[in-house]
């Protein structure tokens, strides 16, 4: 077999067989096939796509390129959720304890943030003492005992993706749905859960800019998951404005703690957008797991666990299990890192907030220190942005729209300019867009 022939076959729109894909991926991981040939194949995939069978085979081969986590010794259904990335997306921090409170087993591996999007591992590390580097035995033991553990992804998981993604990044082949889907699903499948719930974000702040692209990605990922024997479903949700109102690592933990408090669900006050998505995911996962008789019943059960304080208790236990101080739940202000500088960003116009672009807000938070531009950059856990006004809110000239939190103001002017771009205020009231845009 020759890599040259396989590139030509894909270039001409034909599907590669399992043997051929195994030759290509195996050869690449073992340094037998050079970067330039795999880059040419990736570009051929970019233009020609892949069949459903090819996508499943590619994902399986990528999974087999490294370590696979065996969760079989944990009794019950192991569940995982993946978001394609957004700004102020606190859902995992709230969803994981709700699912564990429901009796599902959450053995989760998460990533770090890069660019304008945040990562759950960074957020959890803002809690003093919280360990994201549990040994495999500690990880499994904790899930058995408490129903929930979350660690960083190890370097041994899907090495083929690590190598391929770095190559795609510099050869303009990231934006290929079969390659994105196999990349994401290979990591989820290698991490071992039985049930995978996907939250595909769409909008300014998301990887997928249009609904059609997001829907196609969701369909392809669900199909791969099912073909490889996992219960898989997806929702498509809006990321036109940041999901939560706090953007930055410790700030997002603060918001999650506030949203886990039972008092947030008293009376008839409206549920925040972050909770709309979290409860939707919880309801769907409970139903898919066979735990609830319908999605609506699952959603109601999720709310019951929030109202009763059970989800908050599981969250506290989770922090303590992983070495953090559970008192952070009672006094987040005292135990979480806080920025030395705070500054309001003011409206220069009256009217209604029409747009609040997640991408610009995420980039502004990153410039204040909350994110990293390059993989090895260090982040400032306390830095970020608190949104005081969101789409639909009425504002007067001089009202505070947002609050900047930072320790190092080197880039504050740029951050302010980005916020000026992010907020668009006009006279008319904006149309209400739904958060849940589709499902697969
Ligand atoms: N996220 C991934 O993990 N892989 C991709 O290819 C794109 C986004």
> Which residue numbers in the chain have pLDDT < 50?
none
Closest residue (by CA) to atom 6 of ligand 1?
180
Specify if 154 maps to a domain.
yes
Ligand 1: centre distance to CA 270 (Å): 34
Question: Residue 60 gets which letter from DSSP?
Answer: H
Digit-coded pLDDT (tens) for 119-177: 899 999 999 999 999 999 999 999 999 999 999 887 788 999 989 988 998 899 988 99
User: Same structural domain for residues 38 and 103?
Assistant: no
Closest residue (by CA) to atom 1 of ligand 1?
184
Specify if 72 maps to a domain.
no
pTM for the model: 0.92
Closest residue (by CA) to atom 3 of ligand 1?
184
With 0-12 CB in 10 A as exposed, 13-18 as middle and 19+ as buried, what is 286? Answer: buried
Confidence (pLDDT) at 153: 82
As for the ipTM of the complex, it is 0.94
Nearest ligand 1 atom to alpha carbon 174: 6
Confidence (pLDDT) at 115: 67
Confidence (pLDDT) at 268: 65
Give 266-314 as a DSSP string.
STTPPPPHHHHHHHHHHHHHHHHTTSSSSHHHHHHHHHHHHHTTHHHHH
User: Same structural domain for residues 324 and 343?
Assistant: no
Closest residue (by CA) to atom 8 of ligand 1?
180
Specify if 68 maps to a domain.
no
Last residue of a domain, one of 329, 345, 364: 329
CB 237 within 8 A of CB 272: no
Q: Which domain holds residue 31?
A: 3-49
Confidence (pLDDT) at 73: 95
300-308 contacts, C-beta under 8 A, 24 or more apart: 301/102, 302/98, 302/102, 302/278, 303/265, 303/279, 305/98, 305/101, 305/102, 306/98, 306/260, 306/262, 306/264, 306/265, 307/262, 307/265, 307/266, 308/262
Confidence (pLDDT) at 270: 74
The domain tally of the chain equals 3
User: Same structural domain for residues 301 and 194?
Assistant: yes
User: Same structural domain for residues 243 and 276?
Assistant: yes
Q: How many of the other CB atoms lie within 10 Å of CB of 378?
A: 7
Ligand 1: centre distance to CA 250 (Å): 25
Nearest ligand 1 atom to alpha carbon 165: 6
Confidence (pLDDT) at 49: 97
User: Same structural domain for residues 323 and 341?
Assistant: no
Last residue of a domain, one of 329, 345, 370: 329
Last residue of a domain, one of 287, 303, 329: 329
Token digits for 331?
A: 């006094």
Query: What CATH number does residue 399 fall under?
Result: 3.90.1170.30
Confidence (pLDDT) at 301: 97
Give the mutation target among 180, 207, 221 for probing the ligand 1 site: most ligand atoms within 8 A of CB. 180
Specify if 67 maps to a domain.
no
Token digits for 79?
A: 């569940």
Specify if 434 maps to a domain.
no
Nearest ligand 1 atom to alpha carbon 111: 3
User: Same structural domain for residues 364 and 296?
Assistant: no
Query: What CATH number does residue 25 fall under?
Result: 1.20.970.10
Nearest ligand 1 atom to alpha carbon 183: 4
User: Same structural domain for residues 376 and 239?
Assistant: no
Ligand 1: centre distance to CA 160 (Å): 13
Closest residue (by CA) to atom 5 of ligand 1?
180
With 0-12 CB in 10 A as exposed, 13-18 as middle and 19+ as buried, what is 279? Answer: buried
**Ligand 1 — pocket residues by CB below 6 A?**
165, 174, 179-180, 183-184
Residues in contact with 159: Cβ distance below 8 Å, sequence separation at least 6, in sequence order = 29, 65, 66
Helix (H) or strand (E) holding 124: helix 120-125
User: Same structural domain for residues 32 and 124?
Assistant: no
Give the active site residues: 82, 161, 168, 183, 187
């Amino acid at each position: 077999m020759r890599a040259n022939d396989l590139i030509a076959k894909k270039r001409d729109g034909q599907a590669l067989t399992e043997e051929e894909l195994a030759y290509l991926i195996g050869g690449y991981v073992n340094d037998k096939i050079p970067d330039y040939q795999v880059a040419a194949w990736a570009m051929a995939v970019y233009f020609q796509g892949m069949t459903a069978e090819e996508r499943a085979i590619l994902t399986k081969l990528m999974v087999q390129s490294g370590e696979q986590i065996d969760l079989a010794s944990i009794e019950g259904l192991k569940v995982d959720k993946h978001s394609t990335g957004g700004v102020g997306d606190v859902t995992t921090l709230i969803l994981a304890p709700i699912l564990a409170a429901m009796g599902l087993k959450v053995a989760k591996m998460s990533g770090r943030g890069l660019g304008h999007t945040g990562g759950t591992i960074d957020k959890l590390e803002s809690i003093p003492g919280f360990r994201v580097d549990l040994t495999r035995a500690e990880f499994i033991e904790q899930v058995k005992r408490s129903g929930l553990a979350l660690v960083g992804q190890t370097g041994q998981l899907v090495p083929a993706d690590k190598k391929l993604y770095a190559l795609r990044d510099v050869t303009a082949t990231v934006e290929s749905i079969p390659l994105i889907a196999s990349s994401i699903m290979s990591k989820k499948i290698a991490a071992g859960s039985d049930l995978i719930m996907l939250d595909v974000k769409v909008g300014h702040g998301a990887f997928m800019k249009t609904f059609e692209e997001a829907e196609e990605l969701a369909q392809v990922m669900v199909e791969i998951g099912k073909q490889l024997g996992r219960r898989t479903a997806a929702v498509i949700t809006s990321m036109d404005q940041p999901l939560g109102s706090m953007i930055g690592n410790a700030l997002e933990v603060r918001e999650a703690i506030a949203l886990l408090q039972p008092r947030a669900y008293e009376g008839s006050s409206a549920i925040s957008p972050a909770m709309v998505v979290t409860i939707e995911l919880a309801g769907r996962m409970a139903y898919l797991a066979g735990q609830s008789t319908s999605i609506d019943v699952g959603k109601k059960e999720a709310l019951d666990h929030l109202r009763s304080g059970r989800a908050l208790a599981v969250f506290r236990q989770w922090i303590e299990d992983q070495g953090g101080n559970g008192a952070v739940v009672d006094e987040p202000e005292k135990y979480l890192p806080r920025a030395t500088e705070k500054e309001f960003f003011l409206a220069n116009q009256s009217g209604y907030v029409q747009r609040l672009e997640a991408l610009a807000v995420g980039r502004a938070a990153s410039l204040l220190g909350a994110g990293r531009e390059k993989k090895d950059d260090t982040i400032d856990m306390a830095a970020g942005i608190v949104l005081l006004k969101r789409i639909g809110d009425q504002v007067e000239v001089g009202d505070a729209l947002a609050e900047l939190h930072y320790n190092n103001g080197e880039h504050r002017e740029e951050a302010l300019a980005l916020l000026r771009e992010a907020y668009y205020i006009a006279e008319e009231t904006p149309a209400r867009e739904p958060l849940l845009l589709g499902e697969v």
